[in-house]
Chains A and B, each alone.
Chain A
Amino acid sequence: MTRVTGGAPLESAHRGSAPRTAHGSAPASLLRRILLQGQYETITMLRNGEQLILAIVLPLLAMVGLTVTPLLDGLGSSRINVAVPGILALCAMSTAFTGQGISTGFDRRYGVLRFLSTTPLGRTGLIAGKVLAVLAVLFLQVLIVTAVALMLGWQPNPAGWLPGLAILVLGAAAFTALGLLVAGTVRPEATLAITNLLWILLGALGGIVIPAERLPALSQAVVHFLPSGALGQALRDAFLYGSVNGAAVLVLLLWTAIAGGAATRWFKWN
């Protein structure tokens, strides 16, 4: 190394001191930072037209489609009663997996995750904000789907609401973890393709809106172990019979833990 001035490399005597008037801010409280990020991400999601189609329009169309076709006949209750829990599960997959995955993937590409992680928000706050936004959008979806479903004659089991909503949040957690895992490990174009394709595949064949017994034999064997099948079945058990499907809840817990752990381990911020 070429020395230009004398002295030890880290000697700073040759540099004048300056008046100290610049003062750093203190961070806003953790709760406020997370709430702000959640609000910001919620508004961003709701402003995105493609996401709204995926989050609201397609699930509503699927619900209407299932009530005017005989696909769900003979399953022990009316078409609408069998359809709505699956539609709620589909909403969770739309928002937590596909929508959130795609937006996180592109945020990663554009350096947004890196920039925000240098602000007081930090990485933990950023993830917490995303989870909050998923829950906020999911809440709006539940309101809209429920309103339309009630108009179409939906009669949920009153004892199903409490476990149903808890299971829906658990499903959202599993799909959020999966969405983050995909978004954090592959290019955003690939995230776009993977999450959209899986939305269609799992939506049609994953036991989410169409119960396992109506699926091809090949699917039947595996859907109970998929997050889609477990969430769909658990919500149907809750809203049709007011019961909690322990096996399905366990499957969802496992997916959340495994995908969450993998995302924590392999998520690349840049």
Chain B
Amino acid sequence: MRSPESPVLTISGLVKDVGPLPTLDGKMLRVVSGLSLIAERGQVTALLGANGAGKTTTIECAQGLQKRTAGAISLLGQDPDSAGAGLRARVGVMLQDGGLPPSARPIPLLRHIAGMYQDPWPVDELIGRLGIDSFSRTNVRRLSGGQKQRLALAAALVGNPEVLFLDEPSAGLDPQSRQMVFDLISELRNSGMGIVLTTHLMDDAQRLADYVYIIDAGRNVAEGTVAQLLRHQLPAGDASEHIRTLLFETEPGLDFTGVLPDGVDVTEARAGSYAATGALSPADLAAITAWWAARGIMPSSLSLEARSLEDVFLDISGREIR
């Protein structure tokens, strides 16, 4: 059964060549080769990939900022290359480099952009929501990276779009602004906005995305919900999805033989810093903490980690640096 509503964005078989480049003896470089994706209303769709994977090129083709070499793109049912103001008014764009004039002040700039729409998001509300009032008297040029990013998000939202493109939305954000921005993105998603974002940060995708496309060298390499991707490449019935790693720090040189079952590996990476990896059960956790209690051992840190999207990403796209 298909979703009853048509997707906000459909890309099929996108190809984008750039160049000719002097560094390639005047040849063209294929930065996207046959990429396909669908983004739905009311969902956050993430394009996850390393720097240079073709994420930005892909969404810039979808925004009509770059002309594609081949393939089909439908943005709200229209071709972005021939789109008019009517389509642009329904689409909000936050560029990676912000795209805000350095000499502008935040509030006049937002009011100016709001004027391009018949029914914009009230600027005062947006200013409060993204904490822009705290730096409203500062020129764009003097804003911090995180402040610029919040202003660029406000500028993308001021038209109250149906589709929102975010290119690396958490770049430069401190933890507080990141939380603020992520809360807003979740809320917008819940209100029915279709959100397409690019990121090279697994954590962003894991926290925000309903559906993730992993992109490598301009191609799709995997896709799915975060939960589906976390089970990625594991044979059916494989217990690996229950694999956990217990990280703790305490006195060095402890011997855990007999404390944990055979399937659990304990390694001491640095003196006093341990990692116990395996299909840990609640009973195993009880056993190790009881063992510490009997010896009066108090770990200075303790954490439990599941398989992360980062592990999946590295499994798929390889661990070598390119």
Contact = CB atoms under 8 A, between A and B. Distances in A.
B303 interface: no
B4 interface: yes
A2 B99 contact: no
Interface residues of B, number: 72
Interface stretch (B24-32, B217-225, B242-250, B286-294): B217-225
A119 B99 contact: no
Contact of B189 (A3, A18, A23): A18
Interface stretch (A72-80, A89-97, A110-118, A144-152): A110-118
A120 B85 contact: yes
B46 interface: no
Interface stretch (B110-118, B175-183, B197-205, B256-264): B110-118
Contacts of A44: 101, 103-104
Given A33-B85, A36-B115, A22 B99 contact: no
B147 interface: no
Classify the interface of chain B: helix, strand, loop or mixed. loop
Classify the interface of chain A: helix, strand, loop or mixed. loop
Contact of B90 (A3, A24, A107, A117): A24
B58 interface: no
Nearest to A125: B85
Interface residues of A, number: 50
A28 B190 CA distance: 27
A246 interface: no
B118 A27 contact: yes
A121 B112 CA distance: 11
Interface in A1-23: 1-5, 9-23
B106 to A, nearest CB: 14
B167 to A, nearest CB: 11
B84 to A, nearest CB: 8
B64 interface: yes
A19 B193 CA distance: 9
A114 B65 contact: yes
A13 B159 contact: no
A241 interface: no
B192 to A, nearest CB: 4
Contacts of A69: none
Contacts of A121: 85, 116
A4 B210 contact: no
Contact of A120 (B65, B101, B117, B193): B117
Given A18-B43, A111-B98, 8 more contacts: A1-B221, A1-B222, A4-B229, A15-B225, A20-B42, A44-B104, A115-B98, A119-B89
Interface of B: 1-5, 7, 10, 12, 36, 38, 40-43, 63-65, 76, 84-86, 88-91, 93, 95, 97-104, 112-113, 115-120, 152, 155, 159-163, 188-194, 210-211, 219-225, 228-229, 231-233, 316
